[in-house]
């Protein structure tokens, strides 16, 4: 090696040390510094519902508030249409999607999921009068049958698989889809198992729950933006700790195993 190249060989490491380094702050750092955890939710009972006063309540709200409390910060909620919530996370509008999102391979290409909070599944509610002559699940897969569901949900995916011949009407939120069923313009409604169960309990004279088990079981988790590993690590540890001390199962039982919360919810 010539003296000139020997000099460059000794000088190059110094140049590298002096080169500017770009450091990108992790979402967890921003949350702790700002004292605010930005949480995205969509209104599905009993995950997230409105109280009579308009306040957000529900399993997801309790989970997010507990996470924020354990971080020493405050939870700030943003309500989205369900099909917009992943886009909001990707755009950096929120830090986390609260824990009612079912884990699917398609979603895992866009978000990072925490450890599962709970297991749930897709359920079916039917209009009693309109389905009085329907005796099998297969009979609902007919062009004369109207089924409602919500866009970009696991229930929607199930509708495309199990009811590919039926007339499936897709709505951006749960309210209009439920209204179609209750008011007799739809034969059936596909949604999360707890959601359809509570819908039937609120309308026992009009609706029926023909299946006690979910059509398809699923696991629910928190979701963060791709690459936010430090925040994901914290949420994984949080889920483990709150499963162990029974906080998560106890909260889940209140929202999904009782009707006490319905006295607070807006009718």
- Region 179-187: mean pLDDT is 98
Mean pLDDT of 164-190: 96
Please tell me the least confidently modeled range out of 22-26, 101-105, 210-214: 22-26
What domains, with CATH codes, occur in the chain? Answer: 27-119+219-263 (3.40.190.10), 121-216 (3.40.190.10)
149 forms bridges with which residues in the sheet?
170
The answer to whether residues 207 and 164 touch, using CB atoms and an 8 Å cutoff, is no
CB 142 within 8 A of CB 163: no
Indicate the SS3 state at residue 2: coil
Q: What is the pLDDT of residue 106?
A: 92
CA angle 26, 27, 28 (to 5 degrees): 90
From 15, 36, 175, 192, select the one nearest 100 (Cα to Cα): 192
The whole-number pLDDT of residue 5 equals 47
Residues 36-56 as b or e (16 or more Cβ within 10 Å = b): bbbbbbbbbbbbbbbeeeeeb
Higher pLDDT, 25 or 235: 235
- Cβ(52)–Cβ(266) below 8 Å: yes
pLDDT at 187 over 50: yes
Which range among 167-171, 217-221, 262-266 has the greatest average pLDDT? 167-171
Mean pLDDT of the chain: 90
Is the CB of residue 238 less than 8 Å from the CB of residue 70?
A: yes
* Rg of the chain on CA atoms, in Å: 24
pTM: 0.75
| Eight-class DSSP state of 25 | P
Q: What is the pLDDT of residue 40?
A: 97
Cα–Cα dist 48/140, whole Å: 29
Distance in angstroms (rounded) separating the CA atoms of residues 134 and 119: 29
pLDDT confidence bin for 22, thresholds 50/70/90: very low
pLDDT confidence bin for 6, thresholds 50/70/90 = low
Orientation angle between helical segments 193-202 and 174-182, nearest 10 degrees? 50
Predicted local confidence at residue 212, as pLDDT: 86
Give the burial class of 82: count Cβ atoms within 10 A of its Cβ; 0-12 exposed, 13-18 middle, 19 or more buried. Answer: buried
Looking at residues 178-187, what average pLDDT do you find? 98
- Cα 68 versus chain centre, distance: 18
């Amino acid at each position: 090696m010539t003296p000139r190249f020997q000099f460059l060989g000794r000088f190059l490491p110094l140049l590298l040390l002096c080169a500017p380094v770009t450091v990108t702050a992790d979402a967890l750092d921003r949350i702790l510094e700002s004292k605010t955890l930005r949480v995205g939710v969509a209104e599905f009972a009993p995950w997230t519902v409105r109280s009579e006063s308009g306040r957000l309540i529900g399993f997801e709200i309790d989970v997010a508030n507990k996470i924020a409390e354990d971080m020493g910060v405050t939870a700030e909620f943003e309500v989205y249409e369900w099909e917009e919530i992943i886009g909001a996370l990707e755009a950096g509008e929120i830090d986390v999607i609260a824990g009612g999102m079912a884990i699917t391979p398609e979603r895992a290409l866009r978000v990072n999921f925490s450890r599962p909070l709970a297991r749930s599944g897709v359920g079916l509610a039917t209009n009693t009068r309109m389905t009085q002559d329907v005796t099998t699940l297969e009979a609902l897969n007919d062009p004369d049958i109207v089924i409602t569901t919500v866009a970009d949900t696991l229930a929607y995916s199930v509708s495309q698989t199990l009811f590919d011949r039926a007339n499936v009407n897709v709505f951006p939120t749960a309210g209009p889809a439920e209204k179609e069923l209750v008011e007799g313009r739809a034969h059936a409604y596909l949604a999360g198992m707890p959601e359809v169960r509570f819908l039937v309990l609120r309308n026992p004279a009009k609706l029926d729950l023909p299946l006690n088990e979910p059509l398809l079981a699923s696991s629910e988790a928190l979701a963060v933006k791709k690459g936010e590993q430090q925040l994901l690590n914290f949420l994984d540890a949080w889920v483990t700790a709150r499963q162990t001390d029974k906080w998560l199962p106890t909260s889940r039982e209140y929202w999904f195993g009782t009707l006490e919360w319905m006295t607070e919810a807006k009718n």
